A and B are shown apart, each in its own frame.
Chain A
Amino acid sequence: DTAVSQTPKYLVTQMGNDKSIKCEQNLGHDTMYWYKQDSKKFLKIMFSYNNKELIINETVPNRFSPKSPDKAHLNLHINSLELGDSAVYFCASSLGLSVWSPLHFGNGTRLTVT
């Protein structure tokens, strides 16, 4: 069973479109994250939710809106896509906020904006 699953794995779309990426975890974790990995492989945190409450919201354009309907899901909606949004987006989860809690990552969604 996949622990953290993201869909779709690949997303190709045109500038100006709106798209969503879904993430689900079956680990029973209460904290979920979205990271963006650019072409240089730098993983940058975008959002973090703990028990469905937003706890980290980095300087991300407000075209990006996360939604957590329950603890097991954290979806990412992107409006008015731009070329610079092209990247791999990773969802992750962890159990609580302990110093020991590792992040469990999905396999990423490669977004290409043309």
Chain B
Amino acid sequence: TQLLEQSPQFLSIQEGENLTVYCNSSSVFSSLQWYRQEPGEGPVLLVTVVTGGEVKKLKRLTFQFGDARKDSSLHITAAQPGDTGLYLCAGRRNNNNDMRFGAGTRLTVKP
């Protein structure tokens, strides 16, 4: 059983559609981060959320941290082919020594 459950695992949509990716856990995290990974490369940070209920916007991407700091969501508005990639959530716990990743959501945006 993974500490962080991401859903959906795979998502294929048309350009212009909206989508939401979820990251859920029964554990409380001191912070939660979202990363994006391209083929052949390491994950790259998109955002960090720390406060329960926090909402952060990054252009067409909106990130939310749950009130209890156990879950998070990533919403993309008007998806573009350039958004295609693997989206990973990661949570810090145990005095921040430990960074655990979800299994990822593979997003494909078709032109």
Contact = CB atoms under 8 A, between A and B. Distances in A.
A99 B88 contact: no
B45 A103 contact: yes
Contacts of A45: 98-101
Contact of B103 (A35, A40, A107): A40
A43 to B, nearest CB: 4
B40 interface: yes
A99 B96 contact: yes
B103 A42 contact: yes
B57 to A, nearest CB: 18
B90 A41 contact: no
A101 interface: yes
A92 interface: yes
Interface string A78-107: 000000000000101010011111110111
B92 A56 contact: no
B33 A102 contact: yes
Contact of B104 (A4, A42, A50, A55): A42
B97 A48 contact: yes
A108 interface: yes
Contacts of A103: 33, 35, 43, 45, 90, 99
B67 to A, nearest CB: 17
B80 interface: no
A100 B48 contact: yes
Given A99-B31, A100-B31, A105-B43, A48 B96 contact: no
Interface of B: 2, 30-31, 33, 35, 37, 40-45, 48, 50, 86, 88, 90, 92, 95-101, 103-104, 106
Given A44-B101, A48-B99, 16 more contacts: A35-B101, A41-B37, A42-B101, A43-B43, A55-B97, A56-B98, A90-B43, A99-B48, A100-B48, A102-B33, A102-B48, A103-B45, A105-B41, A105-B42, A108-B41, A108-B42
